[in-house]
Amino acid sequence: MYIGTTLNKDITTHQSYKMKKTLFLLLSLLVAGQVWAESRAEKLRDNLLHNPKYVTVVAHRGDWRSAPENSLQAFQNCIDMGVDMIELDLQRTSDGVLVVMHDRTLDRCSNGKGKISDHTYAELQQLYLKPQHAASITRHKIPTLEEALLLCKDKIMVNIDKGYDYFQEVYEIMERTGTTQQVIIKSGHAPEKVLRENADVVKNTIYMPIVQVDAPNAREVIEANLALHPVAIECCLKTYNADVEARFQQIRDAGVKVWINSIWGSLCAYHDDDRAVEMNEPDEAWGWILDRGATLIQSDRPGPLIQYLKKHKKHKLK
């Protein structure tokens, strides 16, 4: 009797131990899965780098139709509507703070006046942003680059425009905020200048050249930039002809993606957002851009563009 009771107790103890061990392993796997699960920004980056069919939607200055351009709210709206990437612009204050604003002056976008470079960051914090096409002011402040990157961290890709003069500072902020892998930096400068001045930044980030593909020397400019092994080239064009199509083919043959801006006509041979939405000709606008092989489109109408792409099965993350 004593031996049997002891044996049963040992068996029960062993079974309990196995159950606890199994439970511990399951919990460990669950925690590990949460830790290692890809963020949305990582998924967007993977599709940008490795999915040739996915079309990345870039919101020009954020959702500026519903919030002041380049504001944190404009960026948050893009995150909420499922945009893949926001584009923002940089200026620097007199005391060296990088802020997000397109113009060099405060007049159009805020209730301030004069050059941003003549004001300290503290002075800018006393100002408020204006909504587009309106003289009224909002409660929104001028954000810093660091604030914008922290808002976007793990949620959405970021394209920094008007930032070449600050590449080194931008890189330091990206590293500090842990957002380096979700940011595209770009310039229209010759690749030899970029490498001479910022080789370390280009090496450690996603760098994208900007090329006027209907320029007479476009073939040579593209060839020089392909030596940098970019993920994509931003292609600007006022006119379209067989020579321009050959430049698109040159880029595609190199395994590099084509970025086209639909924000206004002179950047996309007049196959622009307004043609898609206001003239109700999306196939003649965004469809035409897709036919040129573009897999990144910068738009002022990101919501309708996403709907169009989903309809044509070109906006589903792997």
What tens digit of pLDDT does each residue of 47-60 get? Answer: 999 999 999 999 99
CA-CA distance, 272 to 284, in Å (whole number)? 9
CA-CA distance, 141 to 68, in Å (whole number)? 10
pLDDT value, residue 34: 43
Q: Which residue has the tokens 């599709």?
A: 47
pLDDT value, residue 198: 96
pLDDT value, residue 35: 42
pLDDT value, residue 14: 52
pLDDT value, residue 23: 57
pLDDT value, residue 19: 58
Q: What is the percent of the chain where pLDDT is above 70?
A: 88
Beta strands in the chain (DSSP E): 56-60, 85-92, 98-100, 157-161, 183-187, 206-212, 232-236, 257-261, 294-299
pLDDT value, residue 38: 86
pTM of structure: 0.88
- Residue 175 has phi, psi (to 5 degrees) of -65, -40
pLDDT value, residue 24: 56
* Environment class of 285 (CB within 10 Å of its CB; exposed 0-12, middle 13-18, buried 19+): buried
pLDDT value, residue 3: 46
- Provide the CA 17 distance to its chain's centre, in angstroms: 50
Q: What is residue 292's three-state secondary structure?
A: coil
pLDDT value, residue 213: 98
- List of the chain residues with pLDDT < 50: 1-3, 5-7, 11, 31-35
Of 151, 166, 209, 211, which is closest to residue 184 (Cα–Cα)?
209
